Structures are given as C-alpha cells and as structure tokens.
Structure 1
Amino acid sequence: MVPSTRSTLRRNIASLASMWREIQGSNDWYGLVEPLNPLLREEIIRYVELVDACYKAFDLDSSSKRFLNCKHGKASMFREVGMASSGYEITKYIYAAPGISMPAQQDDAGQSRWIGYVAVSADDETKRIGRRDILVSFRGTVTSTEWLANLMSSLTPARFDPTNQQPEVKVESGFLSLYTSNDSTCRFGQGSCREQLLKEVTRLINQYKGEELSVTLAGHSMGSSLAILFGYDLTELGLNRVHPSCEIPVTVYSFGGPRVGNSRFKQRCDDLGLKVLRVVNTCDFITKLPGMIMNDGMRVIGGRYELPWSDSCYTHVGVELSLDFFKLENPRCVHNLETYLGLLKCCSMAESVKKNEEPGFIQKAKEMVARNYEAVHVMPWQDAARQVGDLVQSLGF
C-alpha cells in the first residue's frame, strides 16, 4: 500500500481553513483543476481514503453474522481499517436495497446491504478545515444484485419534491432503485437509503445549526451515483437552506462515476448550486457510460440547436478532473479506487518531474500503482463481480 498521507495532509493544508469554500467548489474550481492545485489534491486524496474505508470494512463472508454489513461498530470502524486519525466520528451506517428479485440461490438476493456511512468532523478537525463537515461516504458495486440493479439502464423521472415533481428531470432507474427501495426485513437499518440519509443529515444540520457547516458527499462508481442523487435530493428539498441568508454548501466528490441523469437533471443540479467534482481516469470506460450513443454529444447540433430526443440523453454533472499520467498495462486496474488514489498521489511526483526532470518517473509511477492494486486483497470472485457488474451496467443492456 502507498503510505498514509495523514501527516503530509496536516503539514500541507494549514491554509485550508481560509479557503475551504473555494476548495469545495464555490467558484466551480476555477483555476484549481488545471493545473491541479496542491491543496485541492490533498483534499481529494483525503476523501478517496474515506471512501476506501467502506471497501475495507464491508463483510462479504456469507457465513458471517455480519454478512452484507460493516465488519466493525461505528465507534471502532476507522481504527479497524487503519484510519484512527481520520478526524471524523461516524454517526450512522446507511443501507440500501436493490429493489429487484433474484434467484433464491444468490447469497445476497433481496437483502439490504451496508452501502456507507454518515460522519461528522470532530472538534479538532473542524478547526483545522475551517468548518463542521457533515460527510456521507458511499462504496461502489460489489455484490451480484447490485450490478443486476444497475442493468436497469433507462431514464425515469426522479420526482423527489412532492410539491414540484418536474417529470422532465430524469435519472437512471437502477441507481434510483437502490436509492429509494426499502427492505422491511433488514435488521440493521430501517427505511430506504434515501429516508435514512435525509433523516440523519437533517438531524446533524439541526444539531450544529449556528456553526459554519458543509455537506460533503463522496463515492466511487455506483457510490458516486448515489452521492449525486442524494446531493440533488437534499438541495431540491431545500434542506441545506436552514435560513434564507445561510445556505450550506453541498459538494460531491465523484470517483470513477458513470452518468446519472439527463440534461434536465444536470441543469437542475446547476440551478440548485450543487457542486460536483468528477475525478476520472481517462482509461476508465465506466466514466463514459451509460449512454454510449445517447449522451451529451447527441443533444445539440453545432452547439446551438437542441435535438428533440435530448431528454433521453445521459449527461455528466459537474466539473471534470482528468487523471492520465500514464497508460496502465493491467486493464483490471483502471476502475479500481486504489488506482485513483495512486494516480492522485502521483500528481505531486509529476510536478517534481516537470521541475527536476527526474529520470524513471513513469516506471516508478507504474510500480507504485501496481503495488497499490495488489494490496487490495479482494477475493477473485469479488473482484470479478465488481468489474463484470460495472461492465454490463455500462453497456446499457
């Protein structure tokens, strides 16, 4: 594994408290993405590690009493995955149900499963980063029913606001199913993923009302889609506007995320002030899908004339940060979160190379990411389920 960057973070981002709003996208990351601002890079790395904790803590042993749940309790989870100094305290675990039926022999058929957690920055971390940060972290696709749910590659109205349902705002039906479906038999979490999130984040906003607050949603692959859906939902309902003169910024850090909705969905997210930073490896085809054909490029002609089928086109939301420092020789790696972490950590090495022309940088970077990937220690079938699931989802069957 690449060594923890926690000590580096504490040294390098002492000025975060003075410019956290810009880092969270208040100006759409203008001037911070190209070239990648070192302060922003370290914040992105921090959130990658907080998402990676979900993978490390997820229990996929079907013989375990915590199967499809987190292996550890809320108070000990960060410590157990090697992140005792994360600076956050977990307040709630979040569960999601695919909302589809599966053959009975499937170990995870019909069950809710742990999808991530809600956490809040502790006092010391709050002082360091300049505000009280409410964090929601989502893992990506792992189990068979999750990727089968993702096969439902069709656009459907979101209709989150009961007073203004906006049927033209459409999102991918598989992601919507994971977000809104409820498994009444779940012994760990009650209510849909959506209901759990809205209740807990609203509670925390009210608890820390009067403090400087931010809401940060971070996820990988399928998890980034859930993060964007929740960010849209939260802002559409106005739950981040606790006072007319005090709007809590809501930011999504998306890692290897697919498209989530149509152009109307993108426009609505922009209108609501939802900030999304999409971190993508240009070799990762998942970030280009669903919508291999019906996508952003099919909406208009000559940049001016919107075509009649534009509402059926998938469109990315937010600002893209592209990572492409070398071509990976192992195609299994391109979508893995550990690869994203390795690429981000290579950024500082790349800057050093530009200045000093250090020989052998490319080879060193390849070796680092290769070591990073091999250290994931996932079982072959688990890795295959994740990769095949994302592949089939992305083909839009």
Structure 2
Amino acid sequence: MSFTDKSCLRTPPLARRQRLGFVGGGRGGLVGDWHFAGARLSNHWDVVAGALSSRPDNAVASARDWMIPPQRSYSDFRQMAQVEAARADGIEAVAICTPNWNHAEIAACFLKAGIDVILDKPMTTTMADAKMLVALQRQTGVSLTMTYPYAHHAMVRQARAIVDSGLLGTINQVHLEYLQEWNCGAQPVDTAVWRQDPSKVGRSSIVGDIGTHAHHLLKTMTGLDVSDVRADMFVCGGRKPQPDTAHINLRLSNSAPGLMHLSNATPGQYCGLRIRVWGSGGAVEWDQERPEYLKFTPLEQQEQTFVRGVGNGVLGEAERLVHLPRGHGEALTDAWANLYAEAALVIAARRAGRQAPAGVRLAGAAEGLAGMRFIDGCADSYEAGGAWIKLQHDE
C-alpha cells in the first residue's frame, strides 16, 4: 500500500487477522471499549486473550463480554505475557489500557516477551520510565505504538497533505484548544479520582490527560516540533490537588509562535479539541467535534470546506482513511479503527521481516517520549513561575 493508494485502509492486505490481547480495559472503563471497538472495526485483529481487570470477578465477566476463552483470561499480566509468548497461537500484540502509573511495568514486561505493544497515552508518569521503554524497544526490536486516535481522522490527514503540498506556505502561528467540562465540581467524578493523584498521573494531570493529544495533533498536522514552552496553570473548578486548566505559550521548531488552552473545568464544553494553523499562503481549521469537515482558506481567495469522502478535492492520504460515502457519518470509532489498521500493517510487516508500508503515520516510542518531554516541560515552566523552558530532542 503506497502513500497515494486510495484503497480503503481496512481492506485486509494481510493473509489473516493478527492476534491481540488486552491488559486492562474491562467493564467500567471507556478507554478499553474504544480500543476494543477500534480493533474489531479495523478488520485486522482477533481479540483472543486478556488480563482485563485487577479485580478477578471483573476480569472474568469482561472476558465473557468479549468472548475471550476462559483459559486465556488471566488474573495477572505477567502470567499472560509468559504463557502467550510460549503458545504457537499466542498473541502478536497487546493493547495496554490501564491507568498511567501501570504503563511502564506492563509495557516492559511484554516487550521483553517479544510481544508488540499498543500503549495508551501518556507513555508513562516519569521521564526515567519513558527513556527506559525507548531503550528497551530499541534493544528488543519489538514495536511500541502510542494511541493518539485523533491523528487518524481522514480530515487531519487532509490537512497534513495540504501543508506538505506547500499550499499553506510558511507556517506562521498555530492555535490549539482542548476543553471539557467533566471536572467542574468540587470533587472529581468517582471514576476519575486517580487523575488528580500526582503519584498516579505524573507531574501534570491536565497536560498528561489531554494536552498530549493536542501536542501530538500539532506535530501530525504541521510536521513541526515544539521547541520551547511557557505554561501557567490554574484550578478553575472547585478545590483540587492538581490544576485543571493550563494556558501554554509555544515556540515551534521553525520559530513560529503557538498557543494552547487546556481545561476540563469549562462548563458547556464537551470534547472540544480544535486546531487552527495560519501560514503565509492560507489557513486550515479542524474541530474534532465536527471531524468530517476541514476548513481551508487560501490567502485572498474564497474559503473552502472539505467534507470527508472520496473525490471533490480530498487528497490521497486522506482517502486511505475513508470508508463510507459522504452523508454516512464517520467519527471517533472510525479513527480508532484506522489506528488499529495501521498498527496491524506495521506489526505484521515487522514480524515478516518487511518494511512497513509507505504512507503509514503511526506514533511510536519516539512520539511517546516527545509527549513526556512536553508534560515535563510544561510542569517545569509552571513550577518556575511561567519561565520559558526548552524541550530537549536528544534521543
């Protein structure tokens, strides 16, 4: 499958579906449902094993929900890695859908077992653990995929193709926001109490939880890195141990300025991840609550709205991710499916000793580490009273 191939990404180019296991993601959590739905909808995976919960009763019930055989429902991820690695029909990849503080230990266990890892963001809670995973991934040669699903919407790829074509000219400034309302009360909702615990989420709950999505979307859409950050953080919804809001100034790798606004304490905002990119030749604007539309405004020309579909100006890189005609809605589950389809192509190619197909844009260990650098840089800046902090790119 080439960069310009317009065939549906979910049309299986593989001889068979890959075998996938899960750690975490059982009953009571949305994240596991998204991963599971994406894997199944991609048409590239069979979910055959899992250690789905630290609670044995929930693990058994969740395995039954997902039709995982009882003998491949595990009470411990270490046992799962050991047993599955030894089976002739063992899993080829594991999706890790646990809370942040478990990521490093679980991912390391499966990398050492030779099982490819699909890891929910953020990569870990500390830079030391993130660097350990990067080193281990390089040492083992096993792939590590980070799950940033928004980058797998067709119109995000359309925007990147417009940038790559030069139609935006030189990128002069970028504005991002990610606004939610779930954390407005005096106390966080019961299922998210851990998101306010520094020992479990790392140095910044708000940047680690949703800021990493915005950071990765910026790189995906523009191709530019963030070189420097200056962050102010606030508690805007009740009394909490960690800020629920961040205002972040960015300096991009081409020296252009950027601005990021993050909050989960903004009433009336649901899942408002939005990005606007302004260049010397025009602008693009995308809103994940209206993911099928991309606004493109060439300088001093009539603005255009691209609608997800085939033809009518939708470019080849975006068409690869399109599955339904216009008017039949595609949304976040389709983005997850595109992510899992691309992950299957990369993992199957690695296991067969081939190069990954051209045109795949999949976040790996390096992107996971970059996300951790962004979290730490924002935390450093906030703790230093809003000082500019340079992000290191030495790996």
The TM-score, its normalising length taken from structure 2, stands at 0.31
Q: Which has the higher contact order (CA 8 A, sep 6+)?
A: 2
Q: Which has the higher strand share?
A: 2
